[in-house]
């Protein structure tokens, strides 16, 4: 794990509440979290920022902070410098350059509103923030000038309620859920090593989507992604934790631990994990074979439904197919079981 740190100073209010969403829907323009004493809202006519957009803005904030400690709001860079900074070493192409411009457009368009839930030295207040006021790309020279919003940068500079984010660790997190969970945990582990939260509240902070017409989140829809996020955070960052879920009370608990990552995982857990991996591999192989045997029309319809799911598109294609088809089988089994009960009645 690299010792080099690229630090970003971030206000805990911007870590506690999401400035981007994990949803795969293209045109989510508003996301609201309602609290007893107020609400949080992020709004954009162009669609709310996603995980790749957050990586771009974090790189830019790191550069602005490292160059002048937020003494100015204006940053001079190039798309090549940004692409190189956010990539995993691959040579950036036109697609990456275009994606950077999409990110800038989204951050230029959003408005963040705290109604009675923004906390600082003077207590709770109502606050509104924009992120980027202006950006200019010189097509001939390639120079990219970005002017951040003065109020936003002043808040990051002057706040006493802040946390330093290591950009190099953050960008290693490839899963959307891991990145958003990391932001939440970094904030909540600031002055404690154990943190508990209700599943419903956590799912809202993670910007999960409820099932159609559902009043609450389904634990089965959320827990797998949380565990997956914890595993990636444990593997790829300096933050290490255990995760527990109290089913009776629907409470999630994260306990910060100190370990040597390369030596972690007790032998007995390795054996259990190996057994689970073997069983999972067989199931994945079975459902992939089942998918390949479907008519082309059914395959296309399956992939269309997967793309509409709020979480499946974040996974590898094989896992998408496996989870979707296994879910269908489970639903059908329940359907026939219900029919059988009706017949017996």
| Predicted pLDDT at 165 | 92
DSSP 5-48: --EEEEEHHHHHS-SS-----TT--EEEEEETTEEEEEE-TT--
- What is the rounded distance in angstroms from the CA atom of residue 250 to the CA atom of residue 150? 41
Buried b (16+ CB within 10 A) or exposed e, 95-120: ebbebbebbbbbbbbbebbbbbbbeb
Both 222 and 306 in a single domain? no
Both 186 and 152 in a single domain? no
Domain count, the chain: 3
| Predicted pLDDT at 199 | 94
Both 204 and 218 in a single domain? yes
Both 259 and 136 in a single domain? no
Both 74 and 14 in a single domain? yes
Residues in the chain: 345
Among residues 117, 144, 172, which one ends one of the domains?
172
DSSP 196-208: EEEHHHHHHHTTP
Q: Any idea of the CA torsion for 283, 284, 286, 289, to the nearest 10 degrees?
A: 180
On whether the CB atoms of residues 180 and 311 are closer than 8 A, the answer is no
| Predicted pLDDT at 315 | 64
- Per the structure block, which two tokens stand in for 26? 């293209």
Return the residue matching tokens 């017949």: 343
Phi-psi region of 275 (alpha: psi -120 to 50; beta: other; left: phi over 0): alpha
The β-bridge relationship of strands 38-43 and 30-35 is: antiparallel
Both 44 and 152 in a single domain? yes
Among residues 123, 138, 172, which one ends one of the domains?
172
Instruction: Give, for all 345 residues of the chain, the pLDDT tens digit.
Output: 445 688 899 999 999 999 999 876 667 899 999 988 899 999 999 999 999 999 999 999 999 999 999 999 999 999 999 999 998 766 778 899 999 999 999 999 999 999 999 998 888 899 999 999 999 999 999 999 999 999 999 999 999 889 999 999 999 999 999 999 999 999 999 778 899 999 999 999 999 988 888 899 999 999 999 999 999 999 999 999 999 999 999 999 999 998 655 444 443 444 444 455 456 677 888 888 888 888 888 888 888 888 777 666 656 677 778 888 888 888 777 655 655 565 555
Among residues 156, 172, 188, which one ends one of the domains?
172
Range of the domain at 70: 1-172
- What is the rounded distance in angstroms from the CA atom of residue 76 to the CA atom of residue 9? 19
| Predicted pLDDT at 263 | 44
Q: Could you tell me the CATH number of the domain that includes residue 75?
A: 1.10.10.10
Residues near 309 by beta carbon (within 8 Å), at least 6 away in sequence: 24, 324
| Predicted pLDDT at 201 | 93
């Amino acid at each position: 794990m690299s010792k080099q740190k690229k630090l970003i100073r971030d206000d805990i209010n911007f870590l506690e509440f999401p400035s981007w969403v994990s949803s795969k829907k293209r045109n989510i323009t508003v996301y609201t979290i309602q609290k007893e004493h107020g609400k949080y809202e992020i709004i954009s006519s162009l669609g709310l920022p996603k995980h790749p957009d957050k990586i771009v803005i974090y790189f830019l904030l790191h550069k602005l902070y490292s160059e002048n400690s937020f003494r100015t709001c204006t940053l001079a860079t190039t798309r090549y410098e940004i692409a190189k900074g956010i990539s995993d070493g691959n040579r950036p192409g036109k697609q990456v350059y275009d994606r950077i411009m999409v990110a800038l457009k989204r951050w230029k368009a959003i408005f963040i509103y705290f109604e009675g839930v923004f906390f600082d030295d003077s207590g709770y207040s109502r606050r509104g923030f924009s992120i980027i006021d202006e950006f200019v790309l010189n097509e001939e020279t390639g120079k990219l000038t970005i002017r951040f919003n003065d109020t936003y940068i002043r808040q990051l500079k002057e706040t006493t309620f802040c946390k330093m984010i290591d950009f190099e660790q953050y960008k290693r997190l490839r899963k959307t859920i891991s990145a958003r969970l990391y932001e939440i945990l970094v904030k909540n582990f600031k002055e404690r090593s154990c943190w508990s939260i209700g599943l419903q509240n956590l799912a809202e902070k993670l910007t999960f989507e409820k099932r159609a017409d559902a009043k609450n989140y389904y634990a089965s829809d959320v827990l797998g992604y949380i565990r997956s996020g914890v595993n990636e955070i444990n593997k790829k960052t300096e933050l290490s934790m255990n995760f527990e879920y109290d089913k009776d009370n629907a409470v999630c608990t994260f306990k910060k631990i100190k370990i040597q990552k390369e030596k972690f995982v007790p032998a007995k857990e390795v054996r259990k994990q190996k057994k689970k991996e073997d069983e999972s591999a067989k199931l994945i192989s079975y459902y992939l074979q089942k998918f390949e045997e479907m008519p082309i029309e059914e395959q296309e319809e399956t992939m269309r439904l997967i793309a509409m799911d709020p979480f499946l598109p974040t996974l590898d294609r094989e896992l998408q197919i496996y989870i979707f088809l296994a879910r269908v089988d489970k639903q059908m089994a329940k359907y026939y079981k219900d029919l059988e009960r009706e017949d017996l009645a």
